[in-house]
Amino acid sequence: MATKTNQLRRQAEVPELPAELDRRFDAFVFDWDGTAVPDRRANASSLRTVVERLCALGADVAVITGTHLGNVDPQLGARPAGPGRLFLCLNRGSEVFRVDAEGPHLIERRQATPGEDAALDGAAAEVVARLAEKGLRAEIVSQRLNRRKIDLIPEPEWADPPKARIAELLVAVEKRLKAAGLDLRTAVELALEAARQAGLPDPKVTSDAKHVEIGLTDKADSSRWVFAELWRRGIGPGLVLIGGDEFGPLGGLHGSDSLLIVPEAARATAVSVGREPEGVPKGVISLGGGPPAFVALLDDQNRRREQGDVPLIDENAAWAVTVAGLDTEHERADEVLLALADGRIGSNGAPLWTHPAAEPRVLAVGVYTGSGPETTLLEAPVWQQFVGRALPPGQLERTLDLHTGVLRHALVNSSGSAEAALFSSLAQPGTVALRLAGSDALVPGESAQPSALSVEGTHGGVAAASTTRHRDDGLVRVERLGAYVTDAERVPRPEEAIAALTAADGTGFETLLAEHRAAWAGRWEAADVVVDGDAELTRAVRFALFSLMASVDDDGEAAVGARGVAGPGYRGHVFWDADVFVLPFLAATHPPAARAMLEYRLRRLPAAQAAARELGRAGARFPWESAGTGEDVTPRLARLPDGSVVRIRTGELEEHITADVAWAAACYLDWTGDASFEPRARELLLETARYWASRVRVDRDGQAHIYGVIGPDEYHEPVDDNAFTNVMARWNLRRAAGLADEPERGRWLQLADALVDGYDPRTGVYEEFAGFFGLEPLIIADVAPRRPIAADMLLGAERVAGAQVVKQADVLMLHHLVPGEVAPRSLEPNLDFYEPRTAHGSSLSPAVHAGLFSRAGRPEDGLAPLQLATRLDLDDETATTAGGLHLATMGGVWQALVMGFAGVRPDRDALAVDPRLPEAWNGLDLRLRFRGVPLRLRAEHELVAVDAGAPVRIRAGEAPAVTGERLRWTRVNDSWEVSS
Amino acid sequence: VKVLAAVDQTPAASPVLQASLEIARGFGADVLAVHVLQDGAQRVRDLAVENRVPLTELEGPPGARLAQALEADDAVALVVGTRARPQGGREIGSTALEVVTTAHKPVFAIPPELPAGFAIRRVLVPLEGSLSTSSAHAPYPYPALDVPGAGHVDIVILYVLEEDALPKFSDQPHHEWEAFGREFLARYSPWPVEHVRLETRVGRPDQHILPVARETQCELIALAWAQDLAPGRASIVRDTLRRGTIPVALVPVKAAVVAAV
């Protein structure tokens, strides 16, 4: 679309700018000599002013040059106070300084080893000697950090030639070299050869015509560092302007500034202000005009920021969810896919303009209204739409940038165009912001008064305040800031929201945006997953991870409803989806959020204890569906699609939730080793174990049973001795026993051992519940046109109740969650038995099977269910995505990849890894955090590589665990051996 | 605007006129009785006087004349009678068939056993879950939602999930179908969702339309259809007309892409 960059026409200024530069950039990376300044004696005060202003307006600036600090910092003299940052990347890729109001601070330096220094000296001397042999006098002019500089033309006339004389210089040098039978390219090759012979494996040799330099690093290293640093702050390369004056070839060599265009800079805009005698490479804009033009270009960017240009997003397909047009049929589902959330509030991606098919919505996490089963999430005031302004006809495109959580709207029609950027601050949850600009026919021009109000829920409430500013400078510009204060227990006053809004307003849109982008980028640094070999699958996985991260607060308590806060579905009720499916991802990537989820359960422990007491039992019994109070809010009746009204008994009977909550606490501890949480986790584990101890019945033979429950396979109810429930209870009792005192400890271990689990050692198959094997044998493929299918709808509830039809992983869920509690080597026979009988009538099921296929050595079979799970909401497979996101499925996707395909899980004191990947994948790249140590794990068919921020203990396959920061294993004869 | 009541000399004329008056009320329209002269007109004239409606007598081929009359700008709908078939059930007469398959406006088929005091208080609207059928209904105000003084009309939307449309998942039925139903109405209800309620069934539409109409006490069934009565087509329309005992509104789908109906 025409507004992919913000090229909205303005009244005045810089009309001569090419279209690619007629837009906003958020970071500036540029060369020094010839680009920013004409020479080292030039007055750079105007540049200083421009750079300091850019930083003050939130932009990042990086100077990349071969020279040293003394040649740049005094000349530039910038002392930016932020929030934007100034970096000086010096000494040809070997140093980085951050400059702030206090001056420059070294933040990174590549220091040559003595051996490397000797090699550099040797190489330089060898080059001078070889040139001398050819009759050409050259001199080693300096021994800079990590490099040696050889002057090819050590003549007084060319002692310090200005950039403007580059063409003359080149002629003079070429003439000199020609006399020796050389040219510049062969001189560089000679230096490369000398460097390699001196023992440098990857020498960096460049020439500025006058010199040949041999070094360990070059400007490409600086550029890579800068783009990595920007990426970590949520500034993708598409938002970066690269400036230089020597991109084009020089004397047969690539221009020195072409080194700035590293692969990591893909989508960046490069502009040359140099003379470029031999032209610029494809993709580089030749602006010319030298440093004055470049300073003017930067100043133009300041003007854009000052006038409130709408920020762009880095248009990177690997990180984007785009909805083109407005499809009335799927609009509400699309709005959920485009939702912004910060863990505290969720705002769907409705258009800024009203439309009959649109349902703009804001929901607050964990703030409910109503009571009992009718408890629903409280609807909060909407900020993301301009009431009373209908969507004009035209092309609408909305793109959510998953890397930064910024939603962009672009609208084009015959009367003009408009663009907007919105975000819900991850750095300051509850703060929202949008900017909109466009022609007056498309943008609301009236000024709205600041507003504030409170919305009351049954127990808590939401206060919201917003302010909207308008400007008209040829374009109508709107900036709206909003603040939400949410509380699950009391109704916040409007004044609280006003105070939060005032604080946000003081911070300002640009800083809020920069902090928000940095917060998201930081979360991704700790959590990204790449399926190397399937870019589309990677994008879908990222959408899942984005949704999970956005849905869970990491402060206080986090009530994670089954459909998150992008939609009202499932009334915001909290199921085992949260504890078992969502929490592990957070425990392994962002522990504070996982802990907040456990805090939600802990704060409702008294309600769970009361529920147990009410049934005459001990300990704590958690509710199948939970909301604000911690009481069970499961509805008692349901109207099914066949028109029948049925009794819902999950609230009464689906008791495995109690063990699931305990499992979540253990999962958190196993990943984090968080000693500060151990007493709290102990409370959960002990109280849940006490419940099971009072729930279990021991028969005359001494066998223990749990009668009358519903397992994950909800097609059968009630059942006795559901394998999942019993084994999870057994796990709960055993895990808690390790924390308990006598006599509870002994009794729990005894009960755990006595609990029947339906395992038949002859077949290796667990019976899902007592009597399951006696039901009508049924293979789904024989009776259903496809899978997954809601088999109860297809066959009727009565038929499925009497048949071996499984709604979702039940016995197999044990192999996924507690592999140590099931019989060794029992996965394969149970997968063979139950997989064909599983309808996958629950969206929780396919991802679990995907991972288990891989564990069973059948990764290819896991691909289809994995695909299905990743596409569930993106393709609105259930026709209910409008009601919200299937967070458990998304958590399941992460588990399938990490626990399944990569075989990663905490195992006693180590992190176990044992990848089994489909042929089509090259590998899996995972970011994880184990016992407080962030790590990158690369799992391939024949390789496991771990790079950690501190020593970490890893066990690959059956190999003994090893501890280190950089660990490598290779597969040898189907087992893993440490390779370094 | 006018609702045309196609009347002839048979006993079907009386229920047609009676229903037309009620239907016209929903449209905020008057009734114009239309008779194509074939075998006299006295009974028709008497009936028109008796019901206080104006009568237009036309000459020529009946089907073509009725279709022509319905093309008039102020004509919003046509009401025809169905007749008993010798083999049981009801069908639209051959004259009316010509109109029904070509009309661009709704045609109401009235069975001979229309009860006395017929009033439309509740309408069953089976939808197949496509925008084309929904948009066919939308322009026609027979539910009288926007007509002042037309009285309140309930709309019951029926969606029958056939085997190939069965959902893949039903995580927690009590929440799932609530979400599914809400979104189904948001997508396909021709009227604001606060004016309608949804009934769903599993199976084939022809199994469920008439029973649901009875259960929900609807006085009218509105079917969007592609106006194709070729063998093998419009089985639901045929079946509903044949077995039903309440009026059926046949609403043409302009795009003519309705497979199920």
Q: Tell me the pLDDT of chain B (261 aa) as tens digits.
A: 899 999 998 888 999 999 999 999 888 899 999 999 887 889 999 999 999 999 999 999 988 999 999 999 999 999 999 988 888 888 888 888 888 888 889 999 999 889 889 998 899 999 999 888 888 776 554 444 555 555 678 889 999 999 888 889 999 999 999 999 999 999 999 888 888 899 999 999 999 999 999 999 999 999 998 888 888 888 999 999 999 999 999 998 863 333 222
Chain-chain contact of A648 with B177 (C-beta, under 8 angstroms): no
* Phi/psi at A286 (5° precision): -95, 105
Q: What angle do CA A696, A723, A578 make, to 5 degrees?
A: 90
Nearest Cα of chain B lies from the Cα of A808 at a distance, in angstroms, of 9
Chain A residue numbers touching B182 (CB-CB < 8 A): 882-883
Instruction: List per-block mean pLDDT (blocks of 10 residues) for chain A, which spans 980 residues.
Output: 40 64 97 94 96 96 95 97 95 96 97 94 95 93 86 91 83 92 92 95 90 94 98 98 94 88 97 93 95 97 95 96 97 98 98 94 97 96 88 95 98 94 98 95 70 91 95 91 96 97 96 97 98 98 98 97 97 98 98 98 98 98 97 96 95 98 98 97 98 98 97 97 98 98 98 98 98 96 91 92 96 98 98 97 97 98 98 96 98 98 96 98 98 98 97 96 97 90
Chain-chain contact of B187 with A328 (C-beta, under 8 angstroms): yes
pLDDT score, position A252? 79
Of B168, B17, B158, the residue nearest B78 (C-alpha) = B17
Q: Which residue of B has its CA nearest to A634?
A: B174
Chain-chain contact of A650 with B168 (C-beta, under 8 angstroms): no
Chain-chain contact of A878 with B169 (C-beta, under 8 angstroms): yes
Nearest by CB to residue A639, choosing from B166, B177, B183, is B177
Under 8 Å CB-to-CB from A479, ≥6 apart: which residues?
Answer: A308, A433, A434, A435, A436, A468, A469, A509
Chain-chain contact of B182 with A883 (C-beta, under 8 angstroms): yes
Nearest by CB to residue B169, choosing from A567, A785, A842, is A842
The CA distance from A951 to A958, in Å, is 20
pLDDT score, position A1? 37
Chain A residue numbers touching B170 (CB-CB < 8 A): 790, 792-793, 841-842
The ipTM assigned to this model is: 0.90
The CA distance from A315 to A335, in Å, is 20
The residues in A 353-392 lying below 8 A from B, measured between CB atoms, are: 357, 359
Q: Which residue of B has its CA nearest to A650?
A: B172
Mutation target vs A (from B128, B160, B172, B202; most A CBs, 10 A cutoff):
B172
Q: Which tokens hold the place of A460?
A: 């808590």
Q: Which residue of A has its CA nearest to B163?
A: A794
In the A/B pair of chains, how many CB contacts fall below 8 A? 109
Q: Which tokens hold the place of A592?
A: 């504070």
Tell me whether A645 touches chain B (CB under 8 Å).
no
pLDDT score, position A206? 87
pLDDT score, position A6? 44
Of A340, A602, A587, A291, the residue nearest A484 (C-alpha) = A340
Distances (CA, A) of A86 to A53, A59, A73, A81, A258: 11, 9, 11, 10, 22
Tell me whether A867 touches chain B (CB under 8 Å).
no
pLDDT score, position A450? 65
Q: Are A354 and A390 in contact (CB under 8 A)?
A: yes
Dmax of chain A from CA atoms? Answer: 107
Chain-chain contact of A842 with B168 (C-beta, under 8 angstroms): no
* Interval A222-243: pLDDT, tens: 999 999 999 999 999 999 999 9
Chain A residue numbers touching B161 (CB-CB < 8 A): 641, 793
The CA distance from A748 to A746, in Å, is 5
Q: Are A302 and A35 in contact (CB under 8 A)?
A: no
pLDDT score, position A142? 72
Of A836, A859, A824, A825, the residue nearest A787 (C-alpha) = A836
Full-model pTM: 0.94
Q: Which residue of B has its CA nearest to A846?
A: B169
The count of residues in chain B is: 261
Chain-chain contact of B169 with A843 (C-beta, under 8 angstroms): yes
Chain-chain contact of A841 with B169 (C-beta, under 8 angstroms): yes
* Phi/psi at A465 (5° precision): -140, 145
The CA distance from A499 to A465, in Å, is 9
pLDDT score, position B55? 96
Under 8 Å CB-to-CB from A545, ≥6 apart: which residues?
Answer: A527, A528, A529, A585, A890, A894
DSSP state of A878: T
Q: Are A225 and A217 in contact (CB under 8 A)?
A: no
User: What are the residue numbers of the active site of A?
Assistant: 714
Mutation target vs B (from A878, A881, A885, A890; most B CBs, 10 A cutoff):
A878
pLDDT score, position B254? 65
pLDDT score, position A387? 79
Chain B residue numbers touching A884 (CB-CB < 8 A): 179
Q: Are A656 and A809 in contact (CB under 8 A)?
A: no
